[in-house]
Structure 1
Amino acid sequence: MMTYPRVSVGGNPIVIRSNTFSVTGCQFPAWTLGGSPPCSTASWTMAATRLFAGGDNVVLVNSQSQCTPNGTPLQIFRTQIRATGT
């Protein structure tokens, strides 16, 4: 996972909207079985509107994402709860 190391919350670096991720373990069936193509990368399409780091929007627990090539969203499994933003 790519992070923005210059800002941390609870000792962990934050994630900003421009970060792109490689996806492993995608649960979609293989393209050859007639299903959607498996996810390969993901990017954030919506993040905080008033919270920035390095000039980019900070990713929050309710941020929106999209995987390529099938358009499914990422699932956020772990967040910190000591700070909130909009």
Structure 2
Amino acid sequence: MPGFLLNLNSVVICSHGGQAKPTVPNPRVRVMGMPVTTLGPPYVVAGCANPPPPVNVGPCVIGNWVLAALRVKVMGLPVLLQDSQAICVPTGTPLTVVLTQMRVKGM
């Protein structure tokens, strides 16, 4: 499905409210002056409120993207879109894209 591309300024959160940021944004392509993000490098989650063991499995640490653009690639890697899907480790919950740039769409 078409959606807006994610860049370094996009706001992504885990299901428990933790802020997720890309570990390796792609410096070659910029949208709105910021590097885009691609499938492959995970996002790091900070500030997750999920309780640690023995109450629960602990806070989200990393978000691994599993679904990205089908047609748009940067340096051979699919770009992340507003509707891309990720799974957090160790909780197995999804990442949610809250805000992204509104100029460039991909598919």
- With normalisation by structure 1, the TM-score equals 0.89
> Aligned pair count?
85
> 4+ residue stretches of structure 1 with deviation over 3 A?
none
Which residue in the other structure is 2:32 paired with? 10
Deviations 1:25-50 (A, max 9, x none): 11212223x22321111111000001
Larger radius of gyration: 1
Listed as ranges, the gaps of 5+ residues in structure 1 are: none
Contact 1:39 1:69 (C-alpha < 8 Å) held by counterparts: yes
Percent identity reads: 36
Higher RCO (CA 8 Å, separation ≥ 6 residues): 2
Q: Which runs of 5+ in 2 are unaligned?
A: 1-21
After superposition, the CA RMSD in angstroms is: 1.2
Q: Which amino acid aligns with 2:40?
A: S
Q: Answer 1 or 2: which has greater strand percent.
A: 2
TM-score, normalised via structure 2 length = 0.73
